[in-house]
Homo-oligomer: A and B are copies of this chain.
Amino acid sequence: MIQDLKTSYGKIFEEALIQDIVQVGTYKEVKAGDLLMEIGSYVKGMPLLVSGVVKILREDKDGNELLLYYLEKGDTCSMTMACCMGQPQSEIRAIAETDAKLIMIPIQKMEEWTRTYRTWRNFVFESYHNRLNEMLNTIDSIAFDNLDDRLINYLNEKARINNNPLVNNTHQEIADDLHSSRVVISRLLKKLENLGKLKLNRNSIEIINL
């Protein structure tokens, strides 16, 4: 655990803080697809992502999802921090996009470290700030772009986080993330294929030039 910590957070956290984290944090490995946090559930700890990718989802009244953004190495869940502010229940769902390793910090430490460690304070602020910016991007995308563009962005982002131009998802899964329907996504994907921008296979999509 200490090795993972130093690799991912060694540059931003001071040594004493790293030691503290090792003391109170619990190491956790999760598999792709694992549910890390559910809407309405009580937040027990704050996750520091060491490796892998976690996707953060919002749900509408009918139970349909919408992808908000991804967390990557060095990120944490700002929503979780809310728990320290009298909002114990999660507003979002978190699912491991890939296998991932993370360190869970008991939420009681939040306040204390914010007081005592400058680097922790900065980390938390920066975290909030990054999440606000991601939310802004999400809003831009939903409010200003048509579905074609959102799909293209989605595929590019997916390829980026997995470091692989072959996107291993079904049309249904993509439709869920974009809060659309399978038929619509299939239609748009076919259009993009006809434009030579990608190649469709069963269960995967090969990005050519989006």
Could you tell me which A residues sit within 8 Å of B by CB distance? 58, 60-61, 66, 68, 78-79, 81-82, 84-85, 87, 91-92, 114-115, 118, 121, 124-126, 128-129, 131-133, 135-136, 138-140, 142-144, 179
A139-B68, A144-B61 in contact; A121/B132 too (CB < 8 A)? no
Q: Given A61-B144, A114-B121, 11 other A-B contacts at CB below 8 A?
A: A58-B143, A60-B140, A78-B132, A79-B132, A81-B125, A81-B129, A85-B125, A121-B121, A131-B132, A139-B139, A143-B179
Q: How far is the CB of A84 from chain B (nearest CB, A)?
A: 7
Q: Which residues of B contact A139 (CB under 8 A)?
A: 58, 66, 68, 135, 138-139, 142
For A126, the chain B residues whose CB sits under 8 A away are 85
User: Which residues on the B side are within 8 Å of A136 (C-beta)?
Assistant: 58, 91-92, 135
Docked complex Cα distance between A41 and B125 (Å) = 21
Q: Which residues of chain B come closer than 8 Å to A144, judged between CB atoms?
A: 60-61, 66, 179
Quote the shortest CB–CB distance from A159 to chain B (angstroms): 23
CB-nearest residue of chain B relative to A60? B144
Chain B residue nearest to A131 (CB atoms) is B132
Q: Please indicate the chain B residues that have their CB under 8 angstroms from the CB of A179 in the complex.
A: 143-144
